Amino acid sequence: MKAFVSLSLAVAFAAQAFPALASTPHHGGKTAVAAKAKTKSAAKDKIKAKAQAAAARPGIDYDGEDIGLAQWQAVRDFEDEIAARDGFTREELDAVAGKLRYLDSAVQLVKPAPPGKPKNWQAYSARFIEPIRVGAGVRFWNENAEALARAESTYGVPAQVIVGIIGVETIYGRDTGRFRIMDVLATLAFAYPEAPNQLDRKAFFRDELESTLLLARKEGIDPFSLQGSFAGAVGMPQFMPGNILKFGVDFDGDGVIDLRNSAADAIGSVANFLVQHGWERDNTAPAAVPANVAPSQAWQSLLGGGLEARYRPDELAGAGVAVAGSLPDNRLYGLVDLQNGADPTEYWVANANFFAITKYNRSYFYAMSVLELGRAVRSARDGGY
């Protein structure tokens, strides 16, 4: 860390100091020397101020604080509900509640980002389709080739799509999150920030908190041992606890579903999730193909129709949407727009398999990044990236 800071300061200093020095005559005597010294001193002061400001910024709080959540009436009511519904004893639940800590960092992280720059697909995708992630994807594929081939055969989901999801989510298990899930879920279940959907979000996180306790009981683990994202997602594929219970697969056959340490379980669970959310195994066409749209803009009525394929090929063509080649008539499609800031928007025609990926994360950008990363990893593995 020290070496990194020193290098950063050196680069910053050079960027600021060198132009000033280059513009100073080498034969100006004392005036030139004084100017150089003044410029150099100002640059140092500026760098020092930036370093102090950076050091003063608070880091992410992963530990939280004890604010007595166990005494909140909403928490006690929750205990009553799940004790009656799930067979937990009040003693068990009181012991759990007594360990919960409030995470203000989770509250801050779930708040919507302030309005900023326009959406930019190219900038977004560049974060994921890059050499480090692609190289990690090749290693992951090589190390788990058997499980990926078995998942493709069992579920009909191509290996490259599974690899794309796990790569986008956690760089193949490299970054699965450092928050204690029980604290995250309890904080967001009972102290979710003000928002139009606050009640719905609180209900969602209460359900996930209950699911975490059920999962821990089912797998025989300490619920406080689970770590993950600031929103409560766990393991290599970043499943919420409820989704682990519903869609998790013991794909390595060891008797437990472990998305934190078993790549095979993560692979099988991702494939199962996609199938349960509409993946069509007999649809071997590309999930999305580039499209051109007519100047008439009749096609705009096809946008914003939700995360599903709902239009026949003739409906797309009639609205002025064209693709290279032809689309099978026995499938439905959707029109996808990928905005590029000030540059022209990209348009794609996507089938049901593309929209199955959006159920994993409700974003066109996300689904397209999964497809692009998967393709890049496959190409690199085949020697073409």
Q: Which residues are catalytic?
A: 169
Question: How far apart, in Å, are the Cα atoms of 12 and each of 2, 9, 45, 202, 378?
Answer: 15, 5, 12, 45, 38
The residue type of 254 is: D
Residue 271's Cβ-count burial label (10 Å; 0-12, 13-18, 19+) is buried
Phi then psi for residue 239, to 5 deg, are -85, 140
* Residue pointed to by tokens 């580039």: 290
Beta bridge partners of 340: 120, 343
Distance from the Cα of residue 210 to its chain's centroid: 23
Query: Smallest Cα–Cα separation from 168: which of 268, 96, 265, 236?
Result: 236
Residues 6+ apart with CB under 8 A from 214: 86, 245
Phi then psi for residue 237, to 5 deg, are -95, 5
Sign of the alpha-carbon dihedral angle for 139, 144, 146, 147: negative
Helix, strand, coil percentages, rounded to 5, for the chain: 55, 10, 35
C-alpha 55/C-alpha 45 separation (Å) is 15
The conformation of residue 120, written as its DSSP 8-state character, comes to B
Distance from the Cα of residue 165 to its chain's centroid: 9
C-alpha 190/C-alpha 254 separation (Å) is 36
DSSP string, 137-153: HHHHHHHTHHHHHHHHH
3-class DSSP state of 99: coil
Both tokens assigned to 244: 């682990």
C-alpha 359/C-alpha 309 separation (Å) is 12
Both tokens assigned to 208: 């996930």
